[in-house]
Amino acid sequence: MDATVTATPFSTLIRTASHEQHTEAETSTFMGDLLGGRLGVDAYTRYTEQLWFVYRALEEGARALAADPVAGPFIQPELMRTAELERDLAHLRGDGWREGLEPLPATAAYAGRVAECARTWPAGYIAHHYTRYLGDLSGGQIIRDKAEKTWGFARKGDGVRFYVFQEISNPASFKRGYRELLDAVNADDLEKQRIVEECKRAFALNTAVFRELGEEFRAA
């Protein structure tokens, strides 16, 4: 067993292990163009659509995992995003937002993997939970600010509700609590290592979605 696995708090291990891929996701061409104000609201809409497929898989899976001894402690209603995404999509696409909505191939693969973990491997589900929700509570706030300014959404209003966690008044303290949950995760060292690997996979799945979005939307 790698001694660093045992000695390092799990929250540090998972953050450090995914650091490089975080930079890659953050600096992807699509994200760069989107946040640089070089793409239209149609690109932002298409991105929000992809998030809906991913969060539906995360949150449908969550229901079944609430009592699970490993993943259960992570399931917290104040994180749930599906309803917010649906309000954003109704604003962006209109009341018939669900009609003709299809995931990109990379999104279908991502949501499929999340659903598979939720069904068959609760510890692996934690990797996906961490990658999305802790990211949304951190960098998500930068994305919201840019989106409001670029496409004129009301501050914390329709179009950016996905990024607004109404029931989390202190995100920094919530993230501290979340890291404590990670540090106390009910898994042995080998399983922790496998969760870290799944987290890297989760980042790669996100990057693949950005790549496909980047093929569809290019800055002028």
Q: How far apart are CA 50 and CA 13, in angstroms?
A: 28
Query: 97 or 210, CB closer to ligand HEM?
Result: 210
Query: 90 or 175, CB closer to ligand HEM?
Result: 175
In the complex, the residues that contact ligand HEM under the rule CB under 6 A are 15, 22, 25-26, 31, 35, 130-132, 134-135, 138-139, 142, 203, 206
Query: 24 or 90, CB closer to ligand HEM?
Result: 24
Q: How far apart are CA 138 and CA 163, in angstroms?
A: 10
- Min CB(26)–ligand HEM separation in Å: 4
- Min CB(107)–ligand HEM separation in Å: 12
Q: Which two tokens stand for residue 99?
A: 């009609």
- Min CB(24)–ligand HEM separation in Å: 9
Query: 31 or 106, CB closer to ligand HEM?
Result: 31
**Closest residue to ligand HEM, based on beta-carbon distance:** 139
Would you tell me how many other CB atoms lie within 10 Å of the CB of residue 203?
20
66 half-sphere exposure, CB direction, 13 A CA radius: 7
- Min CB(139)–ligand HEM separation in Å: 2
Identity of the residue numbered 185: V
Pair 171, 165: CB distance under 8 Å: yes
Helix/strand/coil for 199: helix
